[in-house]
Copies of this chain bind each other. A is one copy, B any other.
Amino acid sequence: MHSGESKLSKHPTKSPLEKKRLDYEVPVFPILKNIQNAYWKDEGKYIKLLAHETQHSPPLRVGVMFSGGPAAGGLNVLWGLYKGLKDIHSESALIGFLDGAGGFLEDRQIEITDKEIAEIKNQGGFTLLGTGRTKIETEGQMRQALEVVKKNRLQGLVFVGGDDTNTNAYHLSKYLEKEKARCSVVGIPKTIDGDLKGGGIEASFGFDTATKTYSSMIGNLNKDALSAKKYWFFVKLMGRSASHVTLECALQTKPNLAFISEEVQKKKITFKKIVEMVAKTVIERAEAGKNYGTTLIPEGLIEACSDMKAMIDACNTLKKEGKSAKDLTGEEKELFDSLPPAIQKQLQKDLDPHGNMQLSLVSTDQLIAEMVEEKVKDKKGVEFKVVPIFYGYDGRCALPSNFDATYCYNLGMIASILVRDRKTGFMASVKGLDQPVGEWSGIAIPIENMMSQEERHGKLKSVIAKALVDLKGKPFKEFSKKRDKWKIEDHYESPGPIQYDDEASIGFSKTLTLGLEQKKSSFF
């Protein structure tokens, strides 16, 4: 199916800024300027691109697909991959599979040509191909994948996705090797959550743009808090398991309060305690004449609270015994009774397919707001007007920042060289992301090295574990060192909207997380 035309017609008009971005010339690190001179040097834990003498290669046929939630820069992976393949041989072809792995298994595809590339340069979203949540996991799916690879005579298959996608890419690479398909499987680290990291991956793409987009809005709320002096903004941010987004946004905007799920889990901070902490800050600020503030809350926060988990487990056990939440005792009963009636009902009503209560459906920010309200409402001088806000979907498909646009284009090019050199089961990566682009190195990580054994559906499986916030890492340490100062005094920052001029300090700024992790120096 060649439906590039109709797919693209979905975007009949580009905004002036989008048009301008088509012309942004993405920088590449030096070796990518002469792909034919590039070769891979084994560095033990990874392989690294170096320049050598020119090698001529035959044309390549490569397939690519997006997987999971969109992230800014994805279209530049396609562009870089296309550019690399054409640099390798002008007759190379790039096949884009539609709607993720689902479309791949059904061989729904378009060929990506100059015409498509001309429309997607530096643009936001995963629009050209779409994405999907289908996973290639079962033996049957692997076989189907092999069929599609054979039918399309693919020498390479590039998966743009997060931890699960790259895990499955690895298993598929093993399967294709076993079946002697001679098709390289390459992964590209994507996720706005920032939890695909470590072992040579310095950052997943999309994290930079998403956190800058959210921080821009949070910075505006900071200013509103200080101007109107009457609202408490409770900002919920994406990140169910990992709180990298909240941590980065907190570093960028310096809110009065911000919670990190990993810390809550590690230190066994109870939900009750969190409510108390917020209430205490609200009261202390009111005493300082400040009936306003900003609070950042990762969406998975309550799931990280030990008391909440214990209560839910107790409820689910009671259910199996034919009893109900009414039969809870002790601390679990106390916690359940302290929840607003609407939440109690929601928990008892919206059960998962196994009949269990689902903590994930509870709106963390609103729950905390309601319970804090209860605690502070009679305090003299306290006026607690909460405005709950959620940023998430609105940062996934933003126009990519110069950083993400560049990182992704370079990643795509690196992927093309991996396919050329028959490297399979690797994730493309860049070393030295905190440095200027001219000093970046192209590397590739054996996905196997990133894997560990995890129980999934009762079975042990080799998977890439999500990289959680490292409580001993520099970003969290900086945050925990400064946060007490932010509580009562207002140290708000407002980074403003993403700019696309190329100045290092603004248009090509990087996340503070990256800077702290790489440079190991204080930014304060």
Interface flag for A310 (CB, 8 Å): no
Instruction: List the one stretch of A314-322, A331-339, A501-509 in contact with chain B.
Output: A501-509
Shortest distance between the CB of A503 and any CB in chain B (Å): 8
Query: Chain B residues with Cβ under 8 A from A397's Cβ?
Result: 220-224, 227, 494
State the copy count for this chain. Answer: 2
Q: Report the interface size class on chain A.
A: 35 or more
Residues 167-204 of A at the B interface (beta carbon under 8 Å): none
**Residue in chain B with minimal CB distance to A396:** B224
Closest to A342 in B: B342
In A233-281, the 8 Å CB interface with B consists of: 233
Interface locus among A124-132, A150-158, A376-384, A452-460: A124-132
Q: Cβ of A228 and Cβ of B69 under 8 Å apart?
A: yes
Min CB–CB distance A350 → chain B (angstroms): 14
**Which residue of chain B lies nearest to A68 when distances are taken between CB atoms in the complex?**
B228
Given contacts A227-B396, A231-B393, 16 further A-B contacts (CB under 8 A): A12-B491, A15-B219, A15-B493, A16-B505, A20-B506, A70-B228, A99-B229, A124-B494, A124-B496, A130-B228, A131-B228, A387-B393, A389-B393, A398-B496, A398-B497, A499-B500
Contact at A220–B396, with CB atoms within 8 Å? yes
Report the separation of the CA atoms of residues A229 and B219 in the bound assembly, to the nearest whole angstrom: 30
474-506 of chain A: CB within 8 A of chain B: 490-501, 505-506
Closest to A390 in B: B389
Q: Are A493 and B13 in contact (CB under 8 A)?
A: yes
Q: Which residue, of A127, A221, A227, A231, has the highest number of chain B Cβ atoms within 10 A?
A: A227
Interface-centre pick from A217, A228, A495, A501 (highest chain B CB count, 10 A): A228
What is the CB-to-nearest-CB distance from A156 to chain B, in angstroms, rounded to a whole number?
Answer: 23
A219-B228 Cα distance, complex, nearest whole Å: 27
Cβ distance A301 to chain B, nearest Cβ, rounded Å: 19
Q: Which residues of A from 135 to 155 have beta carbons under 8 Å from B?
A: none
Q: Does residue A56 face the partner (Cβ distance < 8 Å to B)?
A: no
Question: Is there contact, CB below 8 Å, between B224 and A399?
Answer: no
A-B contact list, 6 entries, CB within 8 Å: A11-B492, A16-B505, A124-B220, A220-B393, A220-B394, A233-B393
B16 touches A220 (CB 8 A): no
Assembly CA distance A499 to B501 (angstroms) = 9
Residues A399 and B496 in contact in the complex (CB < 8 Å), given A10-B490, A223-B127, A231-B393: yes
Q: Is A18 an interface residue (CB 8 A)?
A: yes
Contact among B13, B21, B393, B494 with A224 in the assembled complex (CB-CB below 8 Å)? B393
- CB of B131 within 8 A of CB of A494, answer no
Q: Which residue of B lies closest to A524 (CB)?
A: B13
Find the residue from A127, A217, A394, A395 having the highest chain B CB count within 10 A. Answer: A394
Shortest Cβ distance from residue A387 to the other chain B in the assembled complex, whole angstroms:
6
In contact, A394 and B217 (Cβ under 8 angstroms): yes
Choose among B228, B233, B494 the residue that contacts A15 (Cβ–Cβ < 8 A): B494
Q: Which chain B residue lies CB-closest to A11? A: B492
Given the interface contacts A213-B220, A219-B15, A224-B394, does A497 sit within 8 Å of B498 by beta carbon? yes
Contact A509 B10 (CB under 8 A): no
CA distance A219 to B15 in the complex (A): 10
Q: How far is the CA of A221 from the CA of B14 in the complex (A)?
A: 15
* A1 touches B (CB below 8 Å): no
Chain B, Cβ-Cβ closest to A12: B491
A126 to B213, CA, bound (A): 22
Whether the Cβ atoms of B131 and A227 lie closer than 8 Å is yes
Chain A positions 1-35 with a Cβ under 8 Å from a chain B Cβ = 10-18, 20-21
> A117 contacts the other chain (Cβ, under 8 Å)?
no
Kindly state the separation between the CA atoms of A130 and B213 in the bound complex, as whole angstroms. 26
Measured in the bound complex, the distance between the Cα atoms of B126 and A399 in whole Å is: 29
| Shortest Cβ gap from A23 to chain B (Å) | 12
Kindly state the separation between the CA atoms of A21 and B505 in the bound complex, as whole angstroms: 13
Q: Quick check: is A216 within 8 A (CB to CB) of the other chain?
A: yes
**A129 → chain B, closest Cβ, in Å?**
9
* Interface membership of A93, Cβ < 8 A: no
CB of A226, distance to nearest CB on chain B (Å): 5
Min CB distance, A12 to chain B, in Å? 6
Interface residues of A in 31-62 (CB under 8 A from B): none
- Write out, one digit per residue, whether chain A residues 393-435 have a CB within 8 A of any chain B CB (1) or not (0): 1111111000000000000000000000000000000000000
Task: Return A520 CB to nearest CB of chain B, in Å.
Answer: 22
* Chain B CB within 10 Å, residue with most, of A231, A396, A495, A499: A499
Q: Are A394 and B221 in contact (CB under 8 A)?
A: yes
CB-CB under 8 A for A227 and B130, given A219-B15, A220-B124, A490-B10? yes
A70 to B130, CA, bound (A): 39
B125 x A223 contact (CB < 8 A): yes
Given known contacts A491-B12, A497-B399, is B125 in contact with A224 (CB within 8 Å)? yes
Interface centre among A13, A21, A342 (most CB of B within 10 A): A13
